[in-house]
């Protein structure tokens, strides 16, 4: 049966209207808006920065203890790489003290060793504290190189370097184990000095000897290399002097 001409025209118009009504949203969904494109591009670049590194493999799985800072578990934290800070609450890190490398948990089975050349600083949260680590690079007057715990950053700076070494078993049935150590460094006028105890610290602060000794007595400060945090109040006072 032949469809009347008028009816064919109306059907064609309805078809065109239908196409127009549903084509626009479809085209809009198939083409990203400039803002969305920029956002996805930015996210992609940031991920490339963060995940720039290599797959990390644990070589000490049957060793007594662990080679990490504070805990064998991944810790909450943040990291700055090439001037970009990543502070997503889901990020988890470990600091490998044997190799002085920062590790990132990419997923349940993959660990990435971050590109050290791109790391500026990072934080780790442990036992209710936030630890700030900075990457230092050695030069003609500063031998410090690698990741250092930043305890005080003023006109004088106080850094702590943590490391672990593997002690091989000496008897049958014993397991290899890790031994942790640390070194304390004071940087003044751009020059780094190693602090071995109270005497070496006070020698570096000798230009304010009288004020420093009065402060130590008044505040009953017990300076100990084994507790680098005990030095911080003294440096805060020293830096406040004119």
Please write the tens of the pLDDT for every residue from 57-95. Answer: 988 887 888 999 999 999 999 999 999 999 999 999 999
Query: Same structural domain for residues 70 and 177?
Result: yes
Beta-bridged to residue 184, according to DSSP, are 160, 195
Six-digit token string for 228: 């680098």
Q: What share of the chain is helix, strand, coil (3-state, %, to 5)?
A: 35, 35, 30
Q: Out of 162, 177, 195, pick the residue that ends a domain.
A: 195
Report CA dihedral (160, 137, 76, 43) to the nearest 10 degrees. Answer: 170
Looking at the structure, tell me whether residues 123 and 235 fall in a common domain: no
pLDDT digits (tens, 9 = 90+) for 13-63: 445 444 544 443 434 444 445 556 555 555 556 667 787 889 999 888 878
Last residue of a domain, one of 159, 178, 195: 195
Per-residue CA distances from 57 to 50, 77, 111, 238 (Å): 18, 21, 8, 45
pLDDT number for residue 22: 43
Residues 210 and 182 in one domain: no
Both 82 and 57 in one domain: the answer is yes
Structural domain including 141 reads 53-195
Q: Does residue 28 lie within any of the structural domains?
A: no
pLDDT for position 141 = 80
How many domains, the chain? 2
Mean pLDDT for the chain? 84
Answer for the pair 101, 116: CB distance below 8 angstroms, yes or no: yes
């Amino acid at each position: 049966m032949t469809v009347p001409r008028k009816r064919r025209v109306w059907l064609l118009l309805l078809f065109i209207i239908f196409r127009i009504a549903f084509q626009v949203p479809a085209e809009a969904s198939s083409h990203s808006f400039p803002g969305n494109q920029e956002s996805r591009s930015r996210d992609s670049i940031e991920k490339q920065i963060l995940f720039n590194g290599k797959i990390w493999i644990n070589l000490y799985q049957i060793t007594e203890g662990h080679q990490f800072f504070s805990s064998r578990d991944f810790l909450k934290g943040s990291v700055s790489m090439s001037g970009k800070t990543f502070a997503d609450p889901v990020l988890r890190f470990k600091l490998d003290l044997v190799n002085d490398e920062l590790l990132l948990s990419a997923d349940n089975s993959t660990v990435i060793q971050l590109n050290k050349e791109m790391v500026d600083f990072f934080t780790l949260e442990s036992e209710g504290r936030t630890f700030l680590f900075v990457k230092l690079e050695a030069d003609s007057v500063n031998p410090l190189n690698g990741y250092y715990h930043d305890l005080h950053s003023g006109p004088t700076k106080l850094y702590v370097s943590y490391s672990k070494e593997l002690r091989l078993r000496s008897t049958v049935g014993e397991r290899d184990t890790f031994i942790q150590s640390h070194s304390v460094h004071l940087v003044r006028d751009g020059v780094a000095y190693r602090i071995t105890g109270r005497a070496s610290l006070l020698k570096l602060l000798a230009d304010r000897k009288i004020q420093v000794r009065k402060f130590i007595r008044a505040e009953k400060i017990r300076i100990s290399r084994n507790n680098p945090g005990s030095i911080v109040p003294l440096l805060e006072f020293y830096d406040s002097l004119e």
